[in-house]
A and B are shown apart, each in its own frame.
Chain A
Amino acid sequence: MIDYSRDVLENGLTFIHHYDQTTPFVVVNTLYKVGAKHEDAHRTGFAHLFEHLMFSGSKHFTNFDKPLQEAGGENNAFTNNDYTNYYDTVPAINIEIPLCLEADRMANLNINKKSLDVQRKVVCEEFKENYINQPYGNVWHLLREMVYEKHPYRWPTIGKELKHVEDATLEDVQEFYSNYYQPSNAILVIAGNVEKETAKVLAQKYFGALEGKPVEQKNFDEPEQQAAKSKTVYEDVPLNAVYIAFKMCDRLHPDYYVADVTSDILSNGTSSRLHQKLVKEEKAFVEIDAYITSSDDIGMFVLEGKISADFDIQNATDLIWKELEKMKQEKVSESELQKCKNKMLTYMNFSEASLLNRAISLATYEVLGNANLINEEEKFYDAVSAERILEFAQKTFTEEKSNTLFYLKKSKV
């Protein structure tokens, strides 16, 4: 059980506090409800580029990192399709340092040409390092575009193409900041060794006076898929790979937990079905995985495998389908289900040991509208039954709703 309290300041900022007196640290986690899905289709990668610019200093502090490091702290940030999250860890004695820095960049970011020029280049290097100069690096570009027809999940957070990042202008940056970086569009979590009353006073002191405007919350549609899709690409890779993706429910749907457990039945641990059948028995795959993307809106259920060098691509793919058919025809046994639940519970227990994990979880659950999911999820996982897995498999794993990407090795001429 994780104790926390939740308030909304007058300017609309959501404030969550979690007390842990066993640690010498506090975490200040600031989440903005803006991610790659809020971008214009012709200017993608922007939310992530903007994350880099948030470290350019603000009106009262020329540098964001230095005071924090001088306070014995560390900080970083990440952007995904749904939100952008900034986190600072400092010794509890220095709690005011991250608070004043975060508040000032929420209201008075120093947007300038020099840092835009530099960070555009940095992000282009990041793009090349992780998505171009890597075997299978562009898989998510291909897969997202195939699976989503309308939803802005069609592009990855790094951006659809390098050019979008290169073309970003100072006006775009200014507009984005003013549209999304508002107190009412943010969630502030203070977690660690600071008592509730103190944390509340400090949150009010630094953030209470910030002015803001309301941010319109957008909803995105995505049509139901009617026919199977397939794509084949040839790249310079050592092994053929296949990816099969299905659209699934959003993060708040009760089926989310069913989907998660289903993916574990298929591939979590060496005793899982896909590993046993396809890697060990059939030797069709060198490695294989099934997982869900935990996105806030319509998610993806993905199966991916690297095919053994001497194994036929179509046969290997058929073997995946055979396992999916089995999920649709037979209920999983109680012991197999309990195994996955136990693994999930162990994972959650170990993950909770980290203060930073707890702080980030509170913020990301709050984005969904319910910070208390941090305490409720265990119950939801426990409620997953063999019947619900069967139903989920039957409605999800159908040929006409499948998206198959064959990522094959170029034959050397």
Chain B
Amino acid sequence: MTIPTIHTIDKITFPNPEAIRLKNNIPLYGFNGAKNDILRIDLIFNSGRWTEPARMAAECTARLLKSGTASLTSFALSEQIDSYGSTLKASSGYNTFNISLYCMNRFLEPSLHLLKTCLTEIIFPEHELELLQKNAIAKLKISQEKNDYLAEVAFKKTVFGEAHPYGYETTEAAIKNITQSLLLQFYQADIHPTNCTVFIAGKYADTELNLIDRYLGEWTAPARLEQDSKHVLTPSNEEMKIRIQKENSVQASIVIGKEFFNKHHEDYASFVLLNTIFGGYFGSRLMSNIREEKGLTYGIHSGLSTLKYNGVFSIQTDTNLENLDVCLHEIYLEMARLQHDIIPEKEITLARNYLLGKFLGRTDGPFNQIEVFKSYFVENLAINKFEAFVETIKQTDALSLQRLAQKYLHKESMYEVVVG
């Protein structure tokens, strides 16, 4: 038996979303075509850690999205949303604040009504805030028992600087510092119709669009005070190697990496291919060598996560303490190999084809499409770049991959955090 012919994916097209404006000028982007009568609605605000008036303000606001209004308690609000089987939740990112609603279309109208209530009437009652603070601190203590959590925190702090929104650490003090008036200040400034974009995915027709326009398109608010937030990176100038001792550990968590570019950089797409070969998938060099050949870890990955203003490149793994030095040595060895030796054509084809399959997957159905579209939107990137990236990945050759490795994968440029 021999392997049947493998066909290469030749064309990947990303569909254009339906783009309209609500009555109040809020832009809406939609991807249609789900089988079931369901909708996911995301509201994205230019906000998050970047614009919050105090550390943790955005995060606490997100967790108190359903904390109550002058006339509805938090319980009443949650009970109503739950009664339609809908989910309404908020999350805070580095540069965004996101509110998402998941519902069946037959409950779209009452769900939108509750969403609108949360947008315009939330008062962040004191007792709800106090309980959140108490429980958030308790959960923080559990996270702080985890080596991988501690490693990630130390890494971000070192790379971006303790004062930077991308780098600051969640602390008990920051949580305690939050007040009701801070949250109201943040909400009034940022959760504003002029600062909002709506994304929908699922199955919809005019009925659903009209409902959305009725509830979100009629949302008005007093004029917004634009604030111009600027933050400067202040990476640690001291030791590049950080070792945190943790009693009773059997394994150490490792994070190695550095500040990086985002999707706007000309090397982005080619670097995605290089990273795939290095540590981006199961067949990568890091996985093949450190897991499949030596059995030093359950998993090892490298990746580039892109943010609005920067990016970060990192390698992450956990390994037995006694194998720590071997593991670190092998990681750096794999970096050096990519700089010194030309990658065999076969290996590039393998990674490239795998990656094309990944890109194809991102075009599959409205729920995948909306995720890609939102991530490009947040980074101010036109969606047609998606197909341009595919083309670049197809054309990147061995020589340019080696040059990229020589440019970006220097051991000396990397921070190294070990917790255990």
User: Could you tell me which A residues sit within 8 Å of B by CB distance?
Assistant: 22-25, 60-61, 65-67, 69-74, 89-91, 93-94, 96-97, 100, 104, 117-123, 125-126, 128-130, 132-135, 236-239, 268-272, 276, 279-280, 283, 286-287, 306, 308-309, 335, 338-339, 341-347, 349-350, 352-353, 355
* Interface residues on chain B, number (Cβ under 8 Å): 74
* Segment with Cβ contacts to A, from B18-26, B206-214, B295-303, B383-391: B295-303
Q: Are B248 and A339 in contact (CB under 8 A)?
A: no
Q: Are A72 and B353 in contact (CB under 8 A)?
A: yes
Q: List 12 A-B contacts (CB under 8 A).
A: A25-B360, A72-B353, A74-B361, A118-B292, A118-B295, A121-B294, A268-B82, A339-B82, A342-B85, A343-B82, A346-B102, A349-B37
A122 to B295, CA, bound (A): 5
A339 to B144, CA, bound (A): 36
Q: Which residues of chain A have C-beta atoms less than 8 A from B35's C-beta?
A: 22, 352-353
Q: Are A342 and B84 in contact (CB under 8 A)?
A: yes
* Segment with Cβ contacts to A, from B2-10, B114-122, B223-231: B2-10
Q: Which residues of chain A have C-beta atoms less than 8 A from B135's C-beta?
A: 279, 286-287, 308
Q: Are B86 and A72 in contact (CB under 8 A)?
A: no
* A61, A71, A118, A343: most-surrounded residue (chain B CB, <10 A): A71
Determine which of B87, B357, B367 lies in contact with A73 in the assembled complex, contact meaning CB atoms within 8 Å: B357
Closest-CB distance, A84 to chain B (whole angstroms): 18
Residue of A nearest to B350 (CB): A70
Closest-CB distance, A338 to chain B (whole angstroms): 7
* A306, A346, A352: most-surrounded residue (chain B CB, <10 A): A346
Closest-CB distance, A269 to chain B (whole angstroms): 4
Given A22-B365, A74-B357, A238-B145, also A346-B104 (CB < 8 A):
yes
Determine which of B3, B33, B131, B318 lies in contact with A100 in the assembled complex, contact meaning CB atoms within 8 Å: B3
Q: In this assembly, does B62 line the interface, its C-beta being within 8 Å of a C-beta of chain A?
A: no
Q: Which residues of chain A have C-beta atoms less than 8 A from B142's C-beta?
A: 135, 237-239, 306
Q: In this assembly, does B79 line the interface, its C-beta being within 8 Å of a C-beta of chain A?
A: yes
Residue of B nearest to A280 (CB): B131
Q: In this assembly, does B330 line the interface, its C-beta being within 8 Å of a C-beta of chain A?
A: no
Residues 32 to 48 of chain B near chain A (Cβ within 8 Å): 33-38, 40
Q: Which residues of chain A have C-beta atoms less than 8 A from B250's C-beta?
A: 128, 132-133
Given A24-B364, A271-B78, A346-B103, also A286-B36 (CB < 8 A):
no
Total contacts A to B, CB within 8 angstroms? Answer: 201
Residue of B nearest to A115 (CB): B292
Q: In this assembly, does B251 line the interface, its C-beta being within 8 Å of a C-beta of chain A?
A: yes
Q: 4 closest Cβ contacts across the A-B interface?
A: A72-B357, A342-B85, A121-B295, A238-B141
Q: In this assembly, does B107 line the interface, its C-beta being within 8 Å of a C-beta of chain A?
A: yes
Q: In this assembly, does B411 line the interface, its C-beta being within 8 Å of a C-beta of chain A?
A: no
Residue of B nearest to A346 (CB): B85
Given A125-B295, A270-B78, also A66-B357 (CB < 8 A):
no
Q: Which residues of chain A have C-beta atoms less than 8 A from B79's C-beta?
A: 271, 339
Residues 273 to 304 of chain B near chain A (Cβ within 8 Å): 281-283, 291-298
Residue of A nearest to B6 (CB): A71
Q: Which residues of chain A have C-beta atoms less than 8 A from B2's C-beta?
A: 60
Residue of B nearest to A338 (CB): B83
A255 to B187, CA, bound (A): 46
A71 to B173, CA, bound (A): 51
Q: Are B357 and A22 in contact (CB under 8 A)?
A: no
Q: In this assembly, does B158 line the interface, its C-beta being within 8 Å of a C-beta of chain A?
A: no
A180 to B211, CA, bound (A): 55
Closest-CB distance, B134 to chain A (whole angstroms): 7
Residue of B nearest to A237 (CB): B145
Q: In this assembly, does B205 line the interface, its C-beta being within 8 Å of a C-beta of chain A?
A: no
Q: Are A342 and B107 in contact (CB under 8 A)?
A: yes
Closest-CB distance, B297 to chain A (whole angstroms): 5
* A24, A100, A344, A352: most-surrounded residue (chain B CB, <10 A): A24
User: Could you tell me which B residues sit within 8 Å of A by CB distance?
Assistant: 1-4, 6-9, 33-38, 40, 66, 74-75, 78-79, 81-87, 102-104, 107, 131, 134-135, 138-139, 141-142, 144-147, 248-251, 281-283, 291-298, 318-320, 349-351, 353-354, 356-358, 360-361, 363-365, 367
Closest-CB distance, B208 to chain A (whole angstroms): 15
Given A69-B282, A74-B357, A118-B293, also A126-B298 (CB < 8 A):
yes
Q: Which residues of chain A have C-beta atoms less than 8 A from B294's C-beta?
A: 118, 121
Q: Which residues of chain A have C-beta atoms less than 8 A from B144's C-beta?
A: 238
Q: Are B297 and A91 in contact (CB under 8 A)?
A: no
Q: Are B82 and A280 in contact (CB under 8 A)?
A: no
Q: Are A97 and B4 in contact (CB under 8 A)?
A: yes
Residue of A nearest to B420 (CB): A133
Closest-CB distance, A387 to chain B (whole angstroms): 21
Q: Are B1 and A60 in contact (CB under 8 A)?
A: yes
Given A69-B282, A306-B138, A342-B85, also A135-B4 (CB < 8 A):
no
Closest-CB distance, A24 to chain B (whole angstroms): 6
Residue of B nearest to A59 (CB): B1
Determine which of A120, A269, A283, A352 lies in contact with B82 in the assembled complex, contact meaning CB atoms within 8 Å: A269
Q: Which residues of chain A have C-beta atoms less than 8 A from B145's C-beta?
A: 135, 236-238
Q: Which residues of chain B have C-beta atoms less than 8 A from A130's C-beta?
A: 298
| Known A70-B349, A271-B79; 6 more pairs at CB < 8 Å | A70-B6, A91-B360, A269-B82, A283-B131, A342-B83, A350-B38
Q: Which residues of chain B have C-beta atoms less than 8 A from A347's C-beta?
A: 85
Q: Are A24 and B360 in contact (CB under 8 A)?
A: yes
Q: Are A72 and B360 in contact (CB under 8 A)?
A: yes
Q: Are A119 and B85 in contact (CB under 8 A)?
A: no
Q: Are A66 and B251 in contact (CB under 8 A)?
A: no
